[in-house]
Structure 1
Amino acid sequence: MPIDANGDLEVEGLSLRSLPKVSLHDHLDGGVRPATIIELADAAGIELPHTDATALGMWFRTQASAGSLVDYLKTFDVSLSVMQTAENLRRISREFVEDLVRDGVVYGEVRWAPELHLTSGLTLQQAVDAVQDGIDEAEDAAESRGKSIRVGQLLSAMRQTDRVREIAELAVANRDRGVVGFDTAGPEAGYPSSRYRETFEYLAQQMFPITVHAGEAAGPDSIRSALVDGRALRLGHGVRIAEDLEIVNRDGEEVQVRFGDLARWVRDREIPLELSPSSNLQTGAIAAWGSEFADHPFDLLYQLGFAVTVNVDNRTMSATSLTREMALLVDSFGYDLEDLESFQFNAAAGAFLPVEEREELVELIAEGFDE
C-alpha cells in the first residue's frame, strides 16, 4: 500500500497516524515550521535562503542530506535565528506540541539546548520557562479538544562548549517544572562522555535521568563511554551499536550473528536505542550498511532483540513525522501492527517517567492498538 502525501499509511485497516505513539528523540529547533520561521524572520529582519514555506522546507531537507553530522547541524543556524526571545520560544514550543498531537503522539520528550537561545538577552531560566509555557498552552488546548498528550523537556548540553555542568544543574533545578531528563548533543567525534564524567556523576547522585547522543557520528567506543562514563539510561540514536555485531552466516532470511561484549550488554539490559531512520540516513550514520532507507540496520537490531524505538530526530530537517517514519519502516521491512506496537512499548518503557506512569502509558498504547 502506498504512503500518502501526508506520510500516512493504512496497516491492517488502521491509519498509522491514528495510533498512539511515544516520541523520545525530537529536537525543538529541528521541528520549527518553515512558515513560522519565515514569519518570525521577516519581523526581525533576518535574511533566509527562501521566503516560501515549501521552498524553505525543501532547502532544509536538501542541506541536511549532505551525508555528515557536521553539515547536518549547520542547518540549525537558520531555525535558531528566530528562537531568541521568550515570545518566539513560547510560540514555537506550542506549535511543536500541536504537531505532536496531529502525529498521534500521546507522550513526548522535546530536547533542546537552552544555551543556544541567549543572543537577545534571555537567561537560561527564562528560556526554560518560555518553552514550558508553550508546552502547557498546547497541552491545555489539546485537552479541551478531547486529546491527551504529555510532553516533558530534555535539556541538552552542547559538548563543544564549557557549559555542560551548568546545563546539568539547570535541568535538576527544573525537575519539578517540566524537565524530565538531561542530554548531551552537538559534534560527537572527539567529545566522548568521559570528558564530562564529573557532571554525569553529579546527575547520578541527583538520581536524574540521562540520555546521550552516541553511536551516530562515532562508533562503539562512543557508546561505551556514554554507558560507562555518561551513566546513560538510553542511547541517542545508538545505531552504530550494529558495528559490534558480526554476521557469520546468512541462509535466506536466517542470519547468524556473533555479539561483541558491548552489543550484548546493550541488548541484554534492554537499553533503549533512540533510532531515527531518515535522519540516520541523512547524516551518514548508516553508511557502513548502505545508502538507502532499507539498508538501515533497524530490522537487524529488532530481530536480535534490541530495545528499538522509532523517532524523527528533526521533523523539519528530515521533512518527516513519526507517522511517516513508521510508514517507511512498514514499506521497507513489512512490519505489521504487532511490530509497530512493540516499538511503542519499548519507547514507553524507556520514557523518563515514574514506573506507574509508564505502566499507564503502556496500557494507553495497548488500548489504542486494540481499537
Structure 2
Amino acid sequence: MNKKTLIGIVVVAVVAIGGYLFMQSKGPQELHIYAWADEVPQAILDDFSKETGIKVTLDTFDSNESLIAKLEAGASGYDLIEPSQYAVQILEKKGLVEPLDHSKIPNRGNLSKVFQEISFDPGNKVSIPFIWGTTGFAYNSDCVKEPITSWKSLWDEQYKGRIYMLDNMLAAYIAGLQVNGFKANTTNPDEVAKATQTLIDQKPLLAGYNSTNFADLVSSGEACIVEAWSGNVLQAIEQNPKVHYVLPDEGGTMWVDGFSIPKGAKNTDAAYKFLDYILKPEVAAKVTTLTKVASAVDKSKELLPPELAKNTAVFPPDDKLAKADFILDLGDAMKHYQDGWTKVKATQ
C-alpha cells in the first residue's frame, strides 16, 4: 500500500467517525407539544414517531388562560402549542407565536376553505386549525324525562344539586349571556353584569363547576345536566344511549383548536413535520375516529364510518351552526368578565 492510499484511507475513516460522532451527539429528533387534554391521541403520536423517528413528548393543559399564563411567564421548551381561536389572537398580539412558513406545510391545502381563511387568523399566519366542535349541554334521560333544548334547563329547580357548569370563565358566560338573549362574545359591560348576576343566581342549584369528568358524571346519572364541550361527551353517548348532547336554541358556540409554534421553539423542523402529518386526510380521519371530534381537514369526513360522519353531535346541521356564536379576543372587555367571574366564584 503506498503512502497516498494510506492517507486517503485515514481521511475517509476520520470523516466517517466524525460524522458518526456528530450524529450520536445530535441524537434523535425530538418534539415537545403542549396541548389540550384528551385532544391529541397517543396512537397518532406513536404513528408519527414510527414514520419519522421523531420522539414526541406531550404535556397537557385544561384552559387557554393556563396556556397563555405559562407562555407569558417565560415557559420554554415547547415546539408546538394548541390554543383555541381567541387565544391565538392574544398570543399573536403579545408576540408569543412565530409566523408560519407555509412552504414547509404542503398539506395545508387539505384544510377546508373555511379554515384556511378563518376570521381569527386569516391565511393561517400563525396557526393551523386541528379540530373543531361546539359548546352546549348534555343530559341524561333517566333524570330528564322530556327532551330539553334551552339553556334555561340549567336554571331549572327540579334538577337542583344535579347540574354542573364548565369550570371555565368564558364557557360559563356563554350560557349566562345567551340565556338572557345576549351574544356570547359581547363587550357590553351592562350585559356582562347581567350575566354575572344570572350565574350567581344559578349557584344554589349547582352541584359544582367541572371541566374534567363532567361527561362521566352525566353518563353515570350523578348529574342530570352538564354544560359540555361536544368532543368530551361523544364517547359517553356511545357508551350510554341515555346521554344526549344539545346545541341549545339560543345558539351555543363553535370553537376551533389548532397548533402554533411558540416563540423560541428549538425543534421547528420536527414541528413542521408534525403539522404536515396531521393534515393528511387519513390521519385526520383517525383523529376524529379516536376522539369523536370533527377535523378541520375537509376530505377526512368521507373516510369516516357512516355512523360517525352522520352524527349530528359531531357535525351539527348547518342551521344550528349558523346560530352559534364564535368567541374571539374580547380585548379590554375581558376585565368585565374577569371581575364578574371573581364574584361568581366567591359566592357561596
**TM-score of the alignment, normalized to the shorter chain, above 0.5:** no
TM-score of the aligned structures, taking structure 1 as reference length = 0.29
Larger radius of gyration: 2
| Larger RCO, structures 1/2 (Cα 8 Å, 6+ apart) | 2
TM-score of the aligned structures, taking structure 2 as reference length = 0.30
